């Protein structure tokens, strides 16, 4: 039925209904678009599309067990993924495979210019040769990337900067003295008066600085290890981490099998030697059994003999009777007493001898003191002895006392006169 055939009331009511349906369709479309946009946002957020991805690269000997999209780990956490794996040019003799990967911000703050490495290791609990890229935490140096812009200014321009303390050095300053390079100032030092005075003699051109209060949401500069400064990031100058590669599990298993195969002949030879040793031990034990059986009667006889040495009327009692036992006891007791007395007497004698030696030492020391005090005492004693001898000789020759010194005659034979024998030649010469 045509619209013109409807009454005005129906046409008015139908136009209101069409308007309501139109608004409903528009609202439903907006809700659908909003839900789809929220879904896209949530998906992008979960996928990390809004996160800052910091690019790095490293090298490895082979790409075995690695593929694009594999996670990159830091301290056991998945902080990025591999973006590309490409072989190096044929003339590069130092590296084989280049691995490009990204680290999600802010985990790039753990990677510094010193101490950070990219280690390609075998995946845990993986026996099929799967490997992962693991980066290690830096220990020293500078951040690999910064998020503040770079400025190159002369020393005069830097001194005129407002809020100069909010800027830091974006490079290292070196001094060359007698062909020796010495670092004057490290990067990221604030531009204080002391730092400027220290580096002024060594800055001949512009100085690269960066503000600390102008952080951006994108990468602004990357550290250049060769020139020791930050350079502007252009998307291609990525920072390279030093590779620290460990062999895959299959390679280690192959080397282990090769080592076992190389050692297997020695092991077989050792088993042969052990077999020969066991055979010799078995024959030795059989011979020992024969010897033990042959010596058993001797042991039985010795047991019987030793049993006969005890008790009354036995061989032991016959060799050493009871009276001899008592005499031996008395003798040993007397010897013990004598030794004890001798020991005590020796102690007393040693003490007496010590006292005598001490007294003798005192006498000699006193005599030595007297001699040293009277230096002419020896001369006087000598003169006294000489005069005494002269006095005695004078008494012997005195007529009144001469008879007192005469020797009595005895029946002893006269003293023999010893004649000196001379040769005829000596007699002729005389």
**CA angle centred on 406, ends 400 and 407, rounded to 5°:** 170
> What whole-number distance in Å separates Cα of residue 388 and Cα of residue 399?
19
> What whole-number distance in Å separates Cα of residue 33 and Cα of residue 35?
5
198 within domain boundaries: yes
Are both 32 and 57 inside the same structural domain? no
Each residue's pLDDT tens digit in the chain (430 positions)? 455 555 666 666 667 777 888 889 999 999 999 999 999 988 888 877 788 999 999 999 888 888 999 999 999 899 999 999 999 999 988 889 999 999 999 899 999 998 877 777 756 545 566 888 999 998 889 999 999 999 999 988 988 888 888 999 999 999 887 778 889 999 999 999 999 999 998 888 889 999 999 999 999 999 999 999 999 999 889 999 988 866 555 566 677 777 877 877 777 777 878 888 888 888 888 788 778 778 888 788 777 777 666 655 555 565 666 667 677 788 888 888 888 888 788 888 888 888 888 888 888 878 777 777 776 676 777 888 888 877 777 776 766 666 666 665 555 555 554 445 555 555 555 5
pLDDT for 249? 55
* H/E segment holding residue 295: helix 249-308
Are both 125 and 86 inside the same structural domain? yes
Are both 179 and 117 inside the same structural domain? no
Structure tokens at 344: 């005590």
Are both 64 and 130 inside the same structural domain? yes
233 within domain boundaries: no
Give the phi and the psi of residue 69 in degrees, each rounded to 5: 100, -10
> What whole-number distance in Å separates Cα of residue 176 and Cα of residue 204?
13
Domain end (from 215, 243, 273): 215
pLDDT for 10? 62
Tracing tokens 């879904």 back to the chain, one arrives at 39
346 within domain boundaries: no
Are both 81 and 134 inside the same structural domain? yes
Tracing tokens 């024969």 back to the chain, one arrives at 290
Are both 78 and 135 inside the same structural domain? yes
- Domain count for the chain: 3
Are both 200 and 135 inside the same structural domain? no
Structure tokens at 155: 């020393």
Are both 57 and 104 inside the same structural domain? yes
- Domain containing 94 equals 53-142
Domain end (from 101, 120, 142): 142
254 within domain boundaries: no
14 within domain boundaries: yes
> What whole-number distance in Å separates Cα of residue 120 and Cα of residue 245?
5
For residue 174, count other CB atoms closer than 10 A to its CB: 13
408 within domain boundaries: no
Domain end (from 142, 164, 182): 142
Are both 77 and 35 inside the same structural domain? no
pLDDT for 21? 85
Are the CB atoms for 147 and 215 separated by under 8 Å? yes
189 within domain boundaries: yes
Give the phi and the psi of residue 61 in degrees, each rounded to 5: -75, -30
Are the CB atoms for 209 and 190 separated by under 8 Å? no
Structure tokens at 257: 């099998």
Tracing tokens 């002893």 back to the chain, one arrives at 412
Residues in Cβ contact with 57 at an 8 Å cutoff, skipping those fewer than 6 apart: 98, 99, 100, 101, 238, 239, 240, 241
> What whole-number distance in Å separates Cα of residue 276 and Cα of residue 340?
65
Are both 156 and 197 inside the same structural domain? yes
């Amino acid at each position: 039925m045509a619209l013109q055939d409807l009454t005005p009331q129906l046409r008015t009511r139908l136009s209101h209904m069409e308007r309501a349906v139109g608004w409903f369709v528009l609202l439903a479309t907006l809700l659908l678009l909003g839900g789809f946009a929220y879904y896209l946002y949530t998906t992008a957020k979960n996928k990390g599309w809004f996160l800052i991805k910091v690019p790095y690269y490293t090298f490895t000997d082979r790409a075995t067990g690695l593929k694009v999209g594999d996670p990159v780990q830091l301290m056991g956490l998945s902080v990025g993924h591999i973006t590309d794996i490409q072989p190096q040019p044929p003339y590069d003799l130092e590296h084989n495979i280049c691995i490009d990967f990204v680290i999600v911000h802010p985990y790039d703050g753990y990677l510094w210019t010193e101490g950070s490495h990219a280690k390609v290791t075998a995946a845990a609990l993986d026996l099929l040769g799967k490997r992962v890229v693991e980066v290690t935490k830096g220990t020293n140096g500078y951040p690999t990337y910064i998020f503040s812009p770079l400025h190159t200014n002369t020393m005069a321009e830097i001194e005129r900067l407002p809020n100069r303390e909010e800027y830091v050095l974006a490079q290292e300053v070196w001094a060359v003295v007698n062909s020796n390079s010495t670092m004057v100032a490290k990067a990221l030092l604030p531009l204080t008066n002391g730092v400027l005075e220290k580096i002024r003699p060594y800055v001949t051109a512009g100085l690269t600085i960066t503000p600390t209060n102008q952080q951006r949401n994108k990468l602004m500069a990357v550290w250049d290890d060769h020139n020791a400064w930050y350079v502007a990031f252009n998307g291609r100058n990525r920072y390279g981490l030093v590779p620290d590669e460990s062999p895959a599990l299959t390679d280690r298993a192959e080397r282990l099998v090769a080592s076992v195969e190389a050692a297997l002949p020695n092991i077989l030879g050792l088993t042969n030697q052990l077999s020969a040793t066991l055979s010799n031990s078995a024959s030795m034990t059989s011979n020992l059994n024969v010897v033990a059986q042959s010596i058993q009667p001797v042991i039985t006889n010795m047991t019987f003999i030793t049993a006969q040495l005890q008790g009354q009327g036995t061989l032991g009692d016959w060799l050493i009777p009871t009276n001899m036992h008592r005499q031996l006891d008395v003798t040993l007791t007397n010897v013990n007493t004598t030794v004890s007395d001798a020991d005590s007497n020796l102690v007393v004698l040693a003490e007496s001898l010590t006292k005598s030696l001490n007294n003798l030492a005192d006498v000699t020391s006193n005599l030595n003191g007297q001699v040293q005090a009277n230096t002419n005492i020896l001369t006087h004693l000598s003169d006294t002895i000489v005069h005494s001898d002269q006095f005695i000789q004078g008494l012997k020759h005195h007529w009144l006392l001469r008879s007192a010194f005469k020797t009595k005659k005895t029946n002893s034979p006269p003293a023999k006169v010893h004649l000196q024998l001379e040769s005829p030649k000596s007699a002729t010469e005389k």
